[in-house]
Chains A and B, each alone.
Chain A
Amino acid sequence: MVRRRKETIEKRIVHGSVSIWQGPNAEPRKSHRWTVYLRSAGDPVEDLSPVVSRVEFLLHETFESPVRQVTEPPFEVTEYGWGEFEVVLRVYFADSTERSVDLYHPLRLFPPPGVEQSEQPVVSEHVDVLMFVEPTEKMYRALMEHAASGPRAMARPSVVAPYMGGELREVEEEDRRRVMEARAQIRQQMTELQKRYEQAVQAEEMLRGRLLARSKPGGTA
């Protein structure tokens, strides 16, 4: 197996889920209809099949046949359910000698706290980056061809295509801003801690000096 040395190709992908509440009269164990999927991070969504050969969806064990194989795009699974859990998407690639990659998608059925339950679909998408580190020749060719051919529309669009969030660049920007802000905050806290520490050291020295002065002249008295 020949690998292309010192080469890493990155591919942005999105794993997401769309959940639609089935209304108050639905069967309690089937209160939501959800779809979990793997898609490219392009806008419009492009066909991933030249790179990804198949996706295994590992659902909660209580589902009937919890391992779902999807070999054709769109790579998605639609189910009825009532609870949230973590779906594992095991992605297999065009070159079968490459190992598979696990993506962990927290399935979300309920709107964020504070928002009323409604028929509005709950969309939860996460961008991830697949890094093909020193890919095999076959994999490399598949990736190159996929990139060169330009965005290729899906032969059969996803059932939840209208809810998908596109490239999610703004989410990325938001995340970056948050991380940077958090770092600034931590830095500030560190400065405060430093001040506290310095004060404590000063106080300690002063107290030690006074204790020494107190215990010296009289000895034990």
Chain B
Amino acid sequence: MAQGSDSQSSRAGSADQKVRSATASLLAVVQGERDEISATTRDSASKGVPKMAARDTGLTAFPLRRERAATGSTAPLPASTAAAPRAPNQPPPKLTGLQREVYQLTGSTAPPLMPEFPGVERKRAPRIRYRIRPVVNAAHPAGAALSLRHWTRVSGLAPDTDAAEYPFARFNKRLRTLMYTEEEYARCLARVQPDAPSEPWSRDETDLLFRLCERFDLDFVVIADRWPDRPASAGTAPAARSRTVNELKDRYYTLVRRIMEYRAKTGAPPPRGPLQKHCQAILANAYDVEYENRRKAQLERQYRRSNAEVREEEQVSRQAQEILLERKRRDRERVRMERLLGVHWGEDEEATAPAPPAEPLEGEAAAPERSRRPRPAGRGDSVPVRSESMRRPKPLTPGPTARSSLMLAPITQSQRLQRRVDQLLDELGVGIRPTPTADICEQFDALRGDILRLLETQRLVRRKEEEVRQLQSRLEGLERARS
């Protein structure tokens, strides 16, 4: 019995335990739920984002809650493993299975559903304020008498109501020109007059010119524009005659020059500052009115050409260029030919200065790039001059050498050419290795050089003949077209 009661009591105890554990788990669940809710509200409150985003651990939390539902209340989970956010220093939760995998992949920093931005601190730019205020333009001839108003920036510290200085007035630089005195004009300028075609200058005209120069900053085009063409009133002497820009320039520059010369003679102090520079420039650069007139006339003519004239001119210059190129090419070819043949057809000076043909021919490409030396004698004759030794003997390296190896060494870089040379040697009955005594070796080398030259000459001659054939057919075509 005791046993039975024992077992019963134990059974009852276990049932009691069950009940107790069930309530505990329920409590735990409730507690967890509450924790979660409080966490979300705290989160959303602190970060200022909607609730959805606050569930940053949602991925881990979701399967957890599902599991809880499946196991029911019998397997309570510790509240700490629920979705409640951990404190920053808390160790990571102990997870198993899929949850652990997911946790390892995402960590506690799973991507939020909504973007979060830390609050941007915006700096406020200080306000700039403008106000309409009176402005004095020092550059204007009227000066303070002219009342102008302008939007001006207000510094904000002291709102001044005085008229502001116009800031761009400092850029108003006036050109100062040289002016003659009465005495100077009478002494040296009165007799200065331009050459025949342009009319003489009167004192009034000269004064006017200098005034205009001062006023318009030597802008002679403007001066010429303002120049009074005709006399103001008929019957009286003309106040000013019609003048071209060049005439105005000539008059001004000539007079300044004369004034400077006169002052230098009389020992008057020379001008200082920018004016000195201006005068010195005029002294250093003589103004040639004749040349300027011609230049302008030329430009004018060029500008007035018709389209057809322009085209024709271009065509002519192109043709001329082509002809020059062609001639140059032919000259080069002739020089090359002369060098190969060792003759000289004396024609023009600059193209015909062939080097003596004693140098070796290193393939085709090497031929045109040769130093040109004038030949002392034999100009204009066509007596063949040939050199016997083709190659300067290279000093042999010490030690035994078979002379046949010198013969077997290739004579040109080009393999194709070398083959042709060997082939020709065979055809000539020499072969590529005759007995290599000293004199035969030398002759053999010369022969190989001769053959190279021959091959090159053949090539050039064939090309020339082909050219002639083309010209012939062109001419025939023209004749046929005409008939």
Contacts and interface: CB of A to CB of B under 8 A. Distances in A.
A interacts with B: yes
Interface of A: 3, 8, 10, 91, 93, 98-99, 101-104, 126-135, 139, 168, 171-172, 175-176, 178-183, 185-187, 189-191, 193-194, 196-197, 200-201, 203-204, 207-208, 210-211, 214-215
Given A103-B404, A129-B436, A176-B443, A204 B464 contact: yes
Interface of B: 334, 337, 341, 343, 384, 386, 396-405, 408, 425, 428-430, 433-440, 443-444, 446-447, 450-451, 453-454, 457-458, 460-461, 464-465, 467-468, 471-472, 474-475, 478-479, 482
Contacts of B408: 104
Contact of B401 (A133, A180, A201, A215): A133
A207 B472 contact: yes
Nearest to A131: B401
Given A133-B398, A204-B471, A178 B461 contact: no
Contacts of B334: 201
Given A128-B404, A182-B447, A193-B458, 17 more contacts: A104-B408, A127-B435, A129-B402, A129-B437, A130-B401, A130-B402, A132-B399, A176-B434, A180-B443, A182-B429, A183-B447, A190-B454, A200-B461, A200-B468, A201-B464, A204-B471, A208-B471
B341 A194 contact: yes
A211 B474 CA distance: 8
Contact of B400 (A98, A189, A194): A98
B337 A179 contact: no
B465 A196 contact: yes
A208 B482 CA distance: 18
Contacts of A132: 399-400
Given A193-B454, A200-B468, A207-B468, A179 B402 contact: no
A196 B454 CA distance: 13
Contacts of A183: 443, 446-447, 450
Main secondary structure of the interface of B (DSSP, over half): helix
A137 to B, nearest CB: 13
23 contacts: A93-B400, A99-B399, A101-B401, A104-B404, A128-B402, A128-B403, A130-B403, A133-B399, A134-B399, A176-B434, A176-B435, A176-B439, A178-B429, A181-B429, A183-B446, A183-B450, A189-B454, A190-B341, A190-B384, A190-B454, A194-B343, A197-B457, A211-B478
Contact of A172 (B404, B437, B444, B468): B437
Contact of A179 (B405, B447, B464): B447
Contacts of A129: 402-404, 436-438
Contacts of A214: 475, 478-479, 482
Nearest to B403: A129
A103 B436 CA distance: 12
Contacts, number: 155
A133 B394 CA distance: 13
A103 B461 contact: no
B440 A172 contact: yes
A109 to B, nearest CB: 19
Nearest to A192: B461
B457 A204 contact: no
B396 A133 contact: yes
Contacts of B436: 127-129
A197 B468 contact: no
A129 B446 CA distance: 19
A131 B438 CA distance: 10
B396 A203 contact: no
B433 A99 contact: no
B399 A98 contact: yes
Nearest to B334: A201
A72 B282 CA distance: 102
Contacts of B396: 8, 131, 133
Contacts of A200: 461, 464-465, 467-468
Given A185-B428, A197-B461, A211-B471, A126 B433 contact: yes
Nearest to B386: A187
Contacts of B478: 211, 214-215
Nearest to B466: A200
Nearest to A214: B478
A103 B408 CA distance: 11
A193 B399 CA distance: 44
Nearest to B404: A128
For the complex of A and B, list the 3 residue pairs with the smallest distance between their C-beta atoms, beginning with the closest: A175-B434, A134-B398, A182-B428
Given A103-B402, A131-B401, A185-B428, A196 B447 contact: no
B64 to A, nearest CB: 82
B43 to A, nearest CB: 88
A165 B167 CA distance: 114
Q: Which of A101, A103, A104, A194 has the most CB of B within 10 A?
A: A194
A127 B384 CA distance: 35
